[in-house]
A and B are shown apart, each in its own frame.
Chain A
Amino acid sequence: MDLLTLLQLLDSTVRLATPLLLACIAGLFSERAGIFDIGLEGKMLAAAFLSAAVAYTTGNVWVGLLAGIGASLLLSAIHGVASITFRGNQLISGVAINFLAAGLTVVIAQSWFGQGGRTPQLAGAARFNPITLPFADSLRDVPVIGPIYYELISGHTALVYIAFMIVPLTWWVLYATRFGLRLRAVGENPAAVDTAGVSVVGMRFAAVMICGVLCGLAGAYLATALQAGFTKDMSAGRGYIALAALIFAKWKPWPCLGATMLFGFLQALALRPDLIQRTLGFSVQTQLLDALPYILTVVILAGFVGKAIPPKAGGEPYVKER
């Protein structure tokens, strides 16, 4: 495999990993605060639809992005009310949210655009276009560094760069701020946080809402950057892969980046069966590549390769002592 092919493969890895990364970090915030969220998938889907629909109607992708985040936040609010305020089962609430999004997006899309549950194709300013970084063109012919800069680093959409910046930001928020300390504490020992006079309910709602914003970014990326428009069920299990990546990364920000890149790489490989054939000399079933993230996650969960220990108070509604 020559350098250019490798760079193209890595380039599509970055494209495919970005939504996973955003959703994974979204899940990180929620789960570190003790709220399980299997509704990442639904939130992404809702955001994908509304961002595409509004971007098409207004012709401005940034307005669409805001609308997508709004849709995701609304579902986050439902999850928060169900699992924090009414202390319901967080997993069941997540399942409900996934179905709500899967159904509502198609029902609304059908009545809005009448195109069988999808939005019209987006073009021009209605979608995120690739950004060519400074000097990318002039550096292109420099050996090794030039192609890497031109093919791999430059030429992505704004949301990709935002996603990559969110990783250090998340690390900083979680480990270097008072907010982050409290957020991690409500996920481990909410009673202690309560005793310190900090509102557990407030912290958890904040975490769930941050999760909503990030899922909104992930969903908008799917419909307005990766693809040009919304199609039915376009999140295609990415929310679950992100969840798998989160476990793979043991609920830590930097490993989240690594895990989503790995899973993105597997997705990119699955799109290029010819490459595997050429480099390895034998063909690998695409179904195996599809299933690999899930298999790896089960192996990690089983604790055979390093143990994944979830936040201690995860999934437990907090009941204040009287």
Chain B
Amino acid sequence: MDVIPKWADVVLIPVISLLLAAILSALVILAIGENPWEALKLMVDGAVGSTYGWGYTLYYATNFIFTGLAVAIAFHAKMFNIGGEGQAVLGGLGVALLCLYIPWPHWSLALLGATAGAALFGAGWAVIPAYLQAKRGSHIVITTIMFNFIAAALLNYLLVGALKPAGSMEPSTGKFPAPTHLPSFQDMFSTADTVMFRGAPANVTFFVAIAACVAVWALIWRTRLGYELRAFGHSESAAKYAGISPTKIIMISMTISGALAGMMAINNVMGEAERLVLNAVEGAGFIGIAVALMGRSHPFGVFLSAILFGFLYQGGAELALWTSIPRELIVVIQALVILFTGALDNMVRMPLEKFFLARRRAAKPKTKLTPAE
């Protein structure tokens, strides 16, 4: 029997964890001699105080939605995909190859093609660890970590070698051709007399990310496969007994997870940079872990917490610009969120369980169990 009501599980616990992380972050800011309240005001102002700020917040959020969904869907099958970073690197490679070597007539077709390419490359990078887990019993966490490093080395190799245009000194591909440039929020929402989202990188990919949220929700809760996935996540032995093949679930969940992580590349590589550079992922694969934990592995929760992390990243950049607080403060906040919502979940949960148990006992003191019951 669940001791904690559903609403407390999905809302109260994350909120308390977030508050704890916020309090500790405020203490860190105090300790380095800055004012936490001023810092928060600067962050809010910089991240959501203008359409420009929103444009950055939503751009970061788009990245985090993809990587968050990737971690979340793997969590449902009790897989911990820590390799989102490497899968997103490979996704970027897929996007770059498709954008550079295929003459797309229009951006919409290019988007479709690049999405498929990103998903394929990301999934490909996740399939090998998945196979090793399913068939050889190698721990998925370790293999996906190793694959992150291998992906980084591979991209490094390609960007200083085969993919670098002749004569260029920079380790990056050439600029993608114009028909592959995605419409940014500025192109989409500006009217003749007011320019919205000026210069911000948010682009049409944000809507692809929302569509991905809906698709993942439908997959997990409205399909047979989603049911099998969740059953496997709850109890491997029960799932096996019910005729669900562990190999199949591990392979499929990791493939989808890798594809989602790879799809991040249409936002950062195709939408923003419009070429492939080194370290284009910038840790978004790891932030996906925090986003999925915070969002309780539910696509809507992932969406909300991705926006929150987008806010933190843009706000943190503004903070670094105007104060002496370095950008790494965001990494601290991210760490605290992972710590409290993930590893120390029981620390928050145990006292709450006691509280709800006590309240339930107090609510119905007279009901006695009869032997018939």
Contact = CB atoms under 8 A, between A and B. Distances in A.
Nearest to A101: B335
A93 interface: yes
B54 interface: no
B245 interface: no
Contacts of B12: none
Interface stretch (A107-115, A145-153, A159-167, A177-185): A107-115
A88 B345 contact: yes
B289 to A, nearest CB: 6
A303 to B, nearest CB: 5
Q: Which of B32, B142, B157, B339 has the most CB of A within 10 A?
A: B142
Given A38-B141, A95-B82, A243-B142, A89 B342 contact: yes
Contacts of B132: 298, 301-302
A315 B326 CA distance: 35
A18 interface: no
Contact of B343 (A83, A108, A111, A288): A83
B346 A96 contact: no
B28 interface: yes
A88 B345 CA distance: 7
Interface in A252-291: 285, 287-288, 290-291
Given A106-B326, A107-B28, A82 B339 contact: yes
B334 interface: yes
Nearest to B293: A92
A56 interface: no
Given A82-B339, A103-B328, A111 B32 contact: yes
Contacts, number: 152
B147 A298 contact: yes
A7 interface: no
Contact of B339 (A78, A237, A288): A78
The number of chain B residues touching the other chain, given as a range, is: 35 or more
B335 A99 contact: yes
A189 B358 CA distance: 35
Interface string A84-124: 00111111110111111011101110110010010000000
Contacts of A244: 142, 146
A99 B346 contact: no
A97 B332 CA distance: 10
Given A88-B345, A302-B138, A104 B28 contact: yes
A141 B8 CA distance: 76
Given A86-B344, A91-B80, A297-B142, A96 B338 contact: yes
A311 to B, nearest CB: 12
A99 B331 contact: yes
A96 B136 contact: no
Contacts of A91: 80, 82, 141
B150 interface: yes
Contacts of B82: 91, 95
B157 A288 contact: yes
B109 interface: no
Given A38-B141, A298-B143, A100 B336 contact: yes
A92 B149 contact: no
Interface residues of A, number: 48
A90 B324 CA distance: 34
A301 B143 contact: yes
A36 B141 CA distance: 11
A247 interface: yes
Interface in B122-175: 132, 136-139, 141-143, 145-147, 149-150, 153-154, 156-157
Contacts of B136: 301-303
Interface in B268-322: 286, 289, 293
Contact of A102 (B33, B328, B338, B339): B328
A62 interface: no
A37 B103 CA distance: 48
Contacts of B339: 78, 82, 93, 96-97, 100
A243 B82 CA distance: 15
A102 B289 CA distance: 16
Contact of A100 (B145, B332, B344): B332
Contacts of B142: 243-244, 247, 297, 301
A95 B338 contact: yes
B19 interface: no
A294 B342 contact: no
B32 A107 contact: yes
- 9 cross-chain pairs, A with B, having the tightest CB-CB distances, nearest first: A103-B331, A93-B343, A99-B335, A103-B332, A291-B153, A111-B32, A92-B342, A100-B335, A301-B138
24 contacts: A81-B344, A88-B344, A89-B342, A91-B82, A91-B141, A92-B343, A95-B342, A96-B338, A102-B328, A104-B28, A104-B332, A108-B32, A110-B328, A240-B149, A244-B142, A287-B153, A294-B146, A295-B146, A295-B150, A298-B143, A301-B136, A301-B139, A302-B132, A303-B136
Given A91-B80, A100-B336, A103-B334, 18 more contacts: A81-B344, A95-B289, A96-B338, A96-B342, A97-B335, A99-B334, A100-B339, A106-B328, A107-B325, A237-B149, A240-B145, A244-B142, A287-B153, A290-B153, A297-B142, A301-B138, A301-B143, A301-B146
Interface of B: 28, 31-33, 80, 82, 132, 136-139, 141-143, 145-147, 149-150, 153-154, 156-157, 286, 289, 293, 324-326, 328-336, 338-339, 342-347, 350
